[in-house]
C-alpha cells in the first residue's frame, strides 16, 4: 500500500462552488474510484484555494490510468477543469503529481 499526497490550486472565486460539487460527487464516479484502487481518498481545501489530496493505493500510476479509461472520469474532469489554476491545458487528474513523503508515524 502506498500513501499519496498531491496539491492543486482552486481559483479563489470558485471555492464555494468547488466545495458544493464535492458534496454531491456522482455515485458512478465514486464507484469508479473504488474499482480502480483509490482508497481513503480525501481532499482538504485552504481558504486561499490550495487543495491537498490524499489517497492510499497499491499503485498510483495504475490507479490514475484506470480512471483515465472511464467515461465518467472524462466527464468529471471536464467539469472540474475550470475550477483550477495553472493546469496548462491538462485535466485536473493529469496535474496531480505525488509529493515526496518525508515522514510517517507508524
Residues with catalytic function: 22
Asked if 11 and 49 touch (Cβ cutoff 8 Å), the reply is yes
Judge whether 41 and 55 are in contact, CB under 8 Å: yes
Q: Is 68 helix (H, G, I), strand (E, B) or coil?
A: helix
Q: How far apart are CA 44 and CA 51, in angstroms?
A: 6
Amino acid at each position: 500500500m502506498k500513501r499519496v499526497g498531491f496539491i492543486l490550486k482552486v481559483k479563489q472565486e470558485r471555492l464555494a462552488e468547488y466545495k458544493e460539487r464535492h458534496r454531491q460527487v456522482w455515485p458512478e464516479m465514486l464507484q469508479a474510484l473504488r474499482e480502480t484502487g483509490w482508497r481513503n481518498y480525501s481532499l482538504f481545501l485552504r481558504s486561499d484555494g490550495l487543495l491537498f489530496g490524499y489517497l492510499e493505493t497499491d499503485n498510483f500510476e495504475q490507479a490514475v490510468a484506470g480512471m483515465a479509461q472511464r467515461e465518467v472520469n472524462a466527464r468529471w474532469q471536464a467539469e472540474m477543469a475550470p475550477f483550477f489554476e495553472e493546469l496548462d491545458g491538462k485535466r485536473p487528474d493529469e496535474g496531480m503529481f505525488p509529493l515526496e513523503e518525508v515522514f510517517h508515524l507508524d
